[in-house]
Chains A and B, each alone.
Chain A
């Protein structure tokens, strides 16, 4: 089924997010006869990794690469399935009801309620905060943002672009720029020296990872995009009203490069706002330096009726997410009473093996590209919370005044209470408070996020269908 215009009031299964996990889950669940709806904020399926895979203007396959085009098979399978695919749809709340959940969904500025007996949350990843001085200046963007410009609009960096940071996605973006004929003035690589050797020692399993060959080829291609400066120890974006230059230190010496664009990236982390708000337990993953929802091998969360799938349940990459989506669909079928546990386990053997294959040696990538503390935990006047413009020093000062954690920090500073709802500052705040209190992020915890997980207008709220009871509560209509 292609995109649906009208939604039914009730489905057996609702899936949030149409990336690899959500697409695979919707296809697999609907193939089992489960009435399935898939909500996604974007206009076309794919998530961020396969963003615009059905609509991109870049038809020369070598620009975005075979791994990207693999997403087309997932999107085609989804669109050919009987799942109701609802694009441009923002699910901003979920409430437990007697037989499942009631979701609040906004489409084209109007909200409605949809019931589902089971939920698969496949909200994917977002880029890790990169809180350096000047990271809020116009012209400073994430490398992922530049990749979205490439995929969706065929827009590439021109002269005056500097890229800074570390991690597989950074090298992928650079390789794609090079394939598109775009170059950058410099790549400031923040991967700490000696990291690969140490990671290899601790995670030799990477030798059997499908990503080893891909990674080496990627690093080679990425070098064609621009001059690489290795071992960068500090970064600062400088400019009056927009970024004009980047200052960096390498080997103890400070340098500056003029630029009009600075693209930052230091890995991706799970987008946990929905899972956190619905009450899913989470834990601190020290290798990935982020909070991760706690799930079993089938994506079962701590909340009954909620299965988590893909990178939103821990960063593992697109191919592992795809297998995880199939696994989550089987878990949902089991929870819905369509199959029993033994049938689930038998039907999931192949997807579990596929997922394991793509997870092989994952630890190597986690260790090799774990960002250095100075890029995760800022100090002084560097902004932590972009929305409310709260500095690292303000967070530190409030801890010294007795603030014990991120939730109390909100009432001290409004930190994390702006429109992004902590997406840009949550990890930084937890790590900063942990450092100041000589504790751990696990001990300090993360923001307790609440619905609505994205800003909703009063107009959207007012557009919700009203029951007689809700109208009586306000206007006392004559009965």
Chain B
């Protein structure tokens, strides 16, 4: 488990993780916010359905994929938290929804 050092400052950015309210520190990546909130896994794989969580934290492994504000396949370690952000687990491959096309 990980913990936040006191000098990191207070977590003041409200977001939801799988629908539950959580607080992150301004400047956190979504992956850091998940880990600080005690979440270890964030998705299941498209191939075997096994759980995965952040591994490299630098954008190379693609194991921290989550759904952010309804957009799937986002690298949690590469996206900064924003107030009101909705973060959700990604189960398997993203669903393809033609009606959602912009």
On whether the beta carbons of B51 and A420 are closer than 8 Å, the reply is no
On whether the beta carbons of A386 and B63 are closer than 8 Å, the reply is yes
Complex contacts, B60 vs chain A, CB 8 Å: 126, 271, 420, 423-424
Q: Which residue of A lies closest to B36 (CB)?
A: A155
Q: Which of B9, B33, B101 contacts A57 (CB 8 A)?
A: B9
Q: Which of A41, A180, A242, A389 contacts B5 (CB 8 A)?
A: A180
Which residues between 362 and 403 of chain A lie within 8 Å of chain B, taking CB atoms? Answer: 386-389
Which residues between 26 and 50 of chain B lie within 8 Å of chain A, taking CB atoms? Answer: 27-29, 32-33, 35-36, 40-42, 45, 47-48, 50
The proximity string for A residues 110-144 relative to B, scoring 1 for CB distances below 8 Å and 0 otherwise, is 00000000000000001100000000111111101
Q: How far is A59 from B9 in the complex, measured between Cα atoms in Å?
A: 11
Are A140 and B55 also in contact (CB < 8 A) when A57-B25, A420-B62 are? yes
Question: Is residue A48 contacting chain B, with contact meaning CB distance below 8 A?
Answer: yes
Complex contacts, A387 vs chain B, CB 8 Å: 62
Minimum C-beta distance from B101 to chain A (A):
8
Complex contacts, A182 vs chain B, CB 8 Å: 3, 5
The segment from A146-154, A249-257, A315-323, A345-353 that touches chain B is A146-154
Question: Is residue B7 contacting chain A, with contact meaning CB distance below 8 A?
Answer: yes
On whether the beta carbons of B56 and A158 are closer than 8 Å, the reply is no
Q: Which of B7, B32, B80, B102 contacts A149 (CB 8 A)?
A: B32
Question: Is residue A418 contacting chain B, with contact meaning CB distance below 8 A?
Answer: yes
Are A58 and B57 also in contact (CB < 8 A) when A152-B32, A153-B27, A419-B62 are? no
The proximity string for A residues 279-294 relative to B, scoring 1 for CB distances below 8 Å and 0 otherwise, is 0000000000000000
On whether the beta carbons of B7 and A59 are closer than 8 Å, the reply is yes
On whether the beta carbons of A145 and B5 are closer than 8 Å, the reply is no
Q: How far is A418 from B52 in the complex, measured between Cα atoms in Å?
A: 15
Complex contacts, B63 vs chain A, CB 8 Å: 136, 386
Q: How far is A138 from B76 in the complex, measured between Cα atoms in Å?
A: 14
Minimum C-beta distance from A3 to chain B (A):
14
Question: Is residue B1 contacting chain A, with contact meaning CB distance below 8 A?
Answer: yes
On whether the beta carbons of A261 and B1 are closer than 8 Å, the reply is yes
Minimum C-beta distance from B74 to chain A (A):
10
Question: Is residue A278 contacting chain B, with contact meaning CB distance below 8 A?
Answer: no
Q: Which of A144, A153, A158, A455 contacts B32 (CB 8 A)?
A: A153
On whether the beta carbons of B58 and A148 are closer than 8 Å, the reply is yes
On whether the beta carbons of B7 and A60 are closer than 8 Å, the reply is yes
Complex contacts, A160 vs chain B, CB 8 Å: 1
Minimum C-beta distance from B48 to chain A (A):
5
Question: Is residue A79 contacting chain B, with contact meaning CB distance below 8 A?
Answer: no
On whether the beta carbons of B7 and A57 are closer than 8 Å, the reply is yes
Complex contacts, B2 vs chain A, CB 8 Å: 146, 149, 155-158, 261
Question: Is residue B59 contacting chain A, with contact meaning CB distance below 8 A?
Answer: yes
On whether the beta carbons of A145 and B28 are closer than 8 Å, the reply is no
Q: Which residue of B lies closest to A389 (CB)?
A: B47
Complex contacts, B47 vs chain A, CB 8 Å: 388-389
Complex contacts, A95 vs chain B, CB 8 Å: none
Question: Is residue A55 contacting chain B, with contact meaning CB distance below 8 A?
Answer: yes
On whether the beta carbons of A145 and B41 are closer than 8 Å, the reply is no
Q: How far is A155 from B28 in the complex, measured between Cα atoms in Å?
A: 10
Q: How far is A455 from B59 in the complex, measured between Cα atoms in Å?
A: 11
Complex contacts, A155 vs chain B, CB 8 Å: 2-5, 8, 32, 35-36
Q: How far is A408 from B95 in the complex, measured between Cα atoms in Å?
A: 30
Minimum C-beta distance from B43 to chain A (A):
9
Which residues between 1 and 19 of chain B lie within 8 Å of chain A, taking CB atoms? Answer: 1-5, 7-9
On whether the beta carbons of B53 and A138 are closer than 8 Å, the reply is yes
Minimum C-beta distance from A119 to chain B (A):
20
On whether the beta carbons of A153 and B4 are closer than 8 Å, the reply is yes
Q: Which of A141, A157, A158, A241 contacts B55 (CB 8 A)?
A: A141
Minimum C-beta distance from A58 to chain B (A):
6
On whether the beta carbons of A154 and B62 are closer than 8 Å, the reply is no
Minimum C-beta distance from A456 to chain B (A):
11
On whether the beta carbons of B3 and A156 are closer than 8 Å, the reply is yes
On whether the beta carbons of A145 and B54 are closer than 8 Å, the reply is yes
On whether the beta carbons of A389 and B57 are closer than 8 Å, the reply is no
On whether the beta carbons of B57 and A141 are closer than 8 Å, the reply is yes
On whether the beta carbons of B50 and A153 are closer than 8 Å, the reply is no
Complex contacts, B9 vs chain A, CB 8 Å: 57, 154
Are A389 and B3 also in contact (CB < 8 A) when A141-B55, A145-B55 are? no
Query: With contacts A58-B7, A154-B25, A181-B5 known, what are 17 further pairs, Cβ within 8 A?
Result: A55-B27, A138-B40, A138-B42, A138-B52, A140-B55, A141-B53, A145-B54, A145-B58, A146-B57, A152-B28, A154-B9, A155-B36, A156-B4, A156-B5, A158-B2, A260-B1, A387-B62
Ordered by A's residue number, 14 sampled pairs between the chains whose C-beta atoms are within 8 Å are: A58-B8, A126-B60, A139-B40, A144-B57, A148-B58, A149-B2, A152-B28, A153-B29, A158-B1, A160-B1, A242-B51, A388-B47, A389-B45, A459-B101
Interface residues of chain B, those whose CB is within 8 Å of chain A, are: 1-5, 7-9, 25, 27-29, 32-33, 35-36, 40-42, 45, 47-48, 50-63, 65, 73, 77-78, 80, 101-102
**Minimum-distance CB pairs A-B, first 9:** A154-B8, A138-B53, A138-B41, A145-B57, A419-B62, A153-B32, A148-B57, A158-B3, A389-B47
